[in-house]
């Protein structure tokens, strides 16, 4: 039931603090600030983690790639299932393969998993539906606890996937000797604090809603981000496309000069995910480059970023600042709300967008 929400998507966006909290609680010991060991999962001898999924699930994997690399020095390959399964993929000794799927029934993801299993690779399934085919066939299930997701546009399943992946990256970091006790405790504490921060991020909804009108009238929108916020920019663009039918592209901010800056013209909305982190100055210079060419810049940032950007970005949305693992969750809720309000403004069928199905069980 939608309760007092207009759409399931809106309800599911608002449920996220609770659901990411549930998911993190499943993986961590909140008294010791440690990630639980998972029987049958050992990252010590892993040479590589291969992550496969479709759509939003694949973007969750792309984001996690940054975490496994930096916390655990574990090489990660992320691929969309429809490409992976038909390219005769190479498996290496010591590979672990992780398949991400909300429904657990996506045909391409399932077939990709069968391919890895046939090659003798350990298959992990990060699924939201416990009784699904992918869950049944995997060697090990790592769950998300998002509850049933009804809206075709994935929201809470995505942030729960990220929450679980963050826990797994911390576990890998410990297994591989790259995180000491205090570092692990710091990451776990930050994940436990994420629900509270996300409640505050979602409080920006009224402000975000006001930006929707300026986007709804434009035929194309560009999303920019760096580092883990680059795949989030891809996810943000997908969300807008799916429910508002506006063409949108996500780009790594560092790629601007390699092509997409040619698209910029007066008034074009450019949404920049700009946390005040080590790469902030680079992101800021991207903002300046598009703003000087007339783009209508909307910067999603945190309090430090907001003071640095004052006067530079046309619109600034200030979210709470999170950690290396949690700030992407906060920005995710903001880009979901933005897509949602653009779609509501345009009057589309938010929960059942045209041409899309919730679960893609055929190729």
Binding site for ligand M6R (CB under 6 A): 54-57, 101-103, 106, 109, 152-154, 242, 356, 359-360
- In the bound state with ligand M6R, the residue whose beta carbon lies nearer, of 54 and 72, is 54
Q: How far is the CB of 363 from ligand M6R (least distance, A)?
A: 12
- In the bound state with ligand M6R, the residue whose beta carbon lies nearer, of 113 and 290, is 113
Active-site residue, 156 included: no
How would you write the chain as a 3-class SS string? CCCCCCCHHHHHHHCHHHHHHHHHHHHEECCCCEECCCCCCCCCCCCEEEEEECHHHHHHHHHHHHHHHHHHCCCEEEEEHHHHCCCCCCCCCCEEEEEEECCCCCHHHHHHHHHHHHCCCEEEEEECCCCCHHHHHCCEEEECCCCCCCCCCCCHHHHHHHHHHHHHHHHHHHHCCCCCHHHHHHHHHHHHHHHHHHHHHHCCHHHHHHHHHHHHCCCEEEEEECCCHHHHHHHHHHHHHHHHCCEEEEEEHHHHHHCHHHHCCCCCEEEEECCCCCCHHHHHHHHHHHHCCCCEEEEEECHHHHHHHCCCCCEEEECCCCCCCCHHHHHHHHHHHHHHHHHHHHCCCCCCCCCCCCCCCCC
- In the bound state with ligand M6R, the residue whose beta carbon lies nearer, of 30 and 356, is 356
The residue annotated as part of the active site, out of 239, 282, 346, 358, is 358
Question: Closest-CB residue for ligand M6R?
Answer: 55
- In the bound state with ligand M6R, the residue whose beta carbon lies nearer, of 106 and 326, is 106
Q: How far is the CB of 40 from ligand M6R (least distance, A)?
A: 23
Q: How far is the CB of 323 from ligand M6R (least distance, A)?
A: 25
Catalytic residues: 358
């Amino acid at each position: 039931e939608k309760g007092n929400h207009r759409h399931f998507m809106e309800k599911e966006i608002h449920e996220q603090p609770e659901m990411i909290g549930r998911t993190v609680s499943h993986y961590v010991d909140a008294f010791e600030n440690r990630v639980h060991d998972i029987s049958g999962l050992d990252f010590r001898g892993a040479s590589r983690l291969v992550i496969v999924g479709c759509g939003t699930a694949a973007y969750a994997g792309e984001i996690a790639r940054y975490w496994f690399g930096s916390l655990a020095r574990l090489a990660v390959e992320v691929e969309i299932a429809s490409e992976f399964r038909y390219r005769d993929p190479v498996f290496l000794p010591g590979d672990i393969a992780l398949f991400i799927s909300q429904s657990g029934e996506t045909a391409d993801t399932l077939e990709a998993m069968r391919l890895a299993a046939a090659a003798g690779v350990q298959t992990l399934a990060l699924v939201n539906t416990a009784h699904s085919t992918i869950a049944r066939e995997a060697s090990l299930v790592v769950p998300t606890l998002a509850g049933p997701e009804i809206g075709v546009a994935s929201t809470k399943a995505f942030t729960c996937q990220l929450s679980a992946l963050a826990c797994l990256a911390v576990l890998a970091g410990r297994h591989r000797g790259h995180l000491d006790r205090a570092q692990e405790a710091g990451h776990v504490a930050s994940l436990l604090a994420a629900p509270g921060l996300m409640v505050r991020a979602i409080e920006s909804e009224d402000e975000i809603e006001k930006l929707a009108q300026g986007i709804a009238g434009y035929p194309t929108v560009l999303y920019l981000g760096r580092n883990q916020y680059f795949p989030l920019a891809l996810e943000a663009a997908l969300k807008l496309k799916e429910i508002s039918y506006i063409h949108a592209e996500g780009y790594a901010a560092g790629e601007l000069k390699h092509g997409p800056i040619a698209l910029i013209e007066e008034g074009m909305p450019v949404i920049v995910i700009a946390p005040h982190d080590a790469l902030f100055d680079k992101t800021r210079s991207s903002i300046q480059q598009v703003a000087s060419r007339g783009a209508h810049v909307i910067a999603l940032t945190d309090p430090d970023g907001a003071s640095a950007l004052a006067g530079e970005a046309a619109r600034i949305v200030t979210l709470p600042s999170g950690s290396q693992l949690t700030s992407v969750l906060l920005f995710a809720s903001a880009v979901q709300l933005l897509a949602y309000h653009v779609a509501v403004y345009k009057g589309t069928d938010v929960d059942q967008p045209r041409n899309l199905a919730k679960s893609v069980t055929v190729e």
